[in-house]
Amino acid sequence: MTKMTTSKKLAEAPTAEYEKIRAKNLMRNNRIFQSLGIAALGMMSPDNEVIEEDEVEDIVVEKEDKETCQSNKENRFEVKFHQKTGSRPYISHVHALKEARKGEELTLFDLFKECHNGKKTGFSEPVKKAII
């Protein structure tokens, strides 16, 4: 029994000592900050120049984002045949089709029909015109 209590005390001793030192340092730091006052804390905060640089970068990035957004909007408007593959990209859909139809040779026309045929809605009007 005495060996277990001795080993427990030894294991707890460094933690307790660490906590005492930590609490002592926190109290010392609090006294220092309280003696300096709130005005001194403003001098210790990071420079405003860094914040301003970040704001400038944000403005530049926002401008680039707006240009990219506008070009993407124009590109989406020009799409004639919208895919009906759901959340899967074309490439994943094509690989899944090839796996499902291992024996068949898929032509580009077959792939086009498979990628543009919706389960619920079927083919859209532009796709129907392209197929016929």
How many CB atoms within 10 Å of residue 85?
Answer: 19
What is the C-alpha separation between 35 and 28, in angstroms, rounded? 11
Model pLDDT, residue 80: 80
Domain chopping of the chain, boundaries: 1-45, 81-132
pLDDT-wise least confident of 35-39, 47-51, 75-79: 47-51
Q: What is the per-residue pLDDT for 46?
A: 57
Q: 63-115, pLDDT tens digit by residue?
A: 788 888 889 899 888 888 777 777 778 788 888 888 888 878 888 888 878 87
**Is the model's pLDDT at 129 over the cut of 70?**
yes
Encoded tokens for 89:
């990209």
